[in-house]
Amino acid sequence: MESTHSVLSFSSGKGGVGKTNIVANTAIALSRLGRRPLILDADLGLANIDVLLGLAPKYNIKHVLSGEKTIKDVIVKGPEDILILPASSGVPELLDLTESQKRLLLDEMETISEEIDTLLIDTAAGISDNVLYFNIASQYRMVVVTPEPTSITDAYALIKVLYTRHRIEDFCVLVNWAADEREAKKVYGQLAMVADRFLGSLSLDFIGYIPRDKNLQKAVLQQRPVIDIYPTSSASAAFKFLAERIIKLGSENRTDGNIKFFWRDFLSVH
């Protein structure tokens, strides 16, 4: 059976909600289920996926956009052979791609589109143009939120901007650092209630939650994925469940693009 292709953005509105950690562990869980994921560190200018995983990439997306390296030269393998396209820390000019850089990036992504089937985009925090564009072009938009009131408020702000400015109506809500399922669904309910009251016809789907697990913090300090070093932890079980849900989403064959079309859409909306 032909593998479906999926493009998912992970955004939060607020920093510090554990988004990058979620992306890394979910990619490994997907790989274990037979998928071929690529993580795009889309926090162009403040990269951190490589730090989280204890990697030291020699090259990054800056070298692709300058024409110095191909994308295959730049992509690195992370734990369990997941693929990562590193961003470049402290290079603000990457936030606004030129037309020639857009064409170059599109051509380069075409060269690897057959080697991956799931693109996980770790966006920057906030509601910058880059964050909005990555969300607009994605098939599935994962909004990561924690029980903190400020996190809920900022997640709503992100959803509001995408809906009011760009008519994006479909979102998946992922609650991180929840005490249990009850708290996670309470957080989701608060976000959904506000969105329904002020925005109306939105689709906010609760896709799951990652429990409050001390092993997550231990793993971060060791620069290792929790699913790798604490495979029997509650967080690891949650990442496996999330990966299964993502695969199920992909099997629905959404018509708004795949990995190849994602890049066309992303580069055309600037």
Query: What is the average per-residue pLDDT within 199-218?
Result: 95
Q: Based on the number of CB atoms within 10 Å of its own CB, is 255 exposed (0-12), middle (13-18) or buried (19 or more)? A: exposed
Angstrom distance (rounded) from CA 32 to CA 80: 8
Strands (E) in the chain, as ranges, are 6-11, 37-42, 76-77, 83-85, 118-123, 140-145, 170-178, 203-211
* Three-state DSSP state, 15: coil
**Least reliable range by pLDDT among 105-109, 216-220, 239-243:** 105-109
pLDDT digits (tens, 9 = 90+) for 144-175: 999 999 999 999 999 999 999 999 999 999 99
Question: Please, which contacts does 249-253 make with residues 24 or more away whose CB atoms are closer than 8 Å?
Answer: 249/6, 249/140, 249/172, 249/207, 250/4, 250/5, 250/6, 250/118, 251/4, 253/4
Angstrom distance (rounded) from CA 195 to CA 160: 8
Instruction: Find out whether 264 and 24 touch, Cβ atoms under 8 Å.
Output: no
**pLDDT higher than threshold 90 for residue 182:** yes
- Picking from 118, 110, 83, 101, the residue whose alpha carbon sits closest to that of residue 242 is 118
Q: Based on the number of CB atoms within 10 Å of its own CB, is 34 exposed (0-12), middle (13-18) or buried (19 or more)? A: exposed
Residues 6+ apart with CB under 8 A from 215: 226, 230, 233, 234, 235, 236
Give pLDDT, residue 14. Answer: 84
Element (H, E) at 51: helix 49-52
Percent of the chain past pLDDT 70, that is, above it, reads 91
Fold for the domain defined by 10-264: Rossmann fold (3.40.50)
Give pLDDT, residue 201. Answer: 82
**pLDDT higher than threshold 80 for residue 97:** no
pLDDT digits (tens, 9 = 90+) for 220-249: 999 999 999 999 999 999 999 999 999 998
Q: Based on the number of CB atoms within 10 Å of its own CB, is 72 exposed (0-12), middle (13-18) or buried (19 or more)? A: exposed
Angstrom distance (rounded) from CA 26 to CA 120: 9
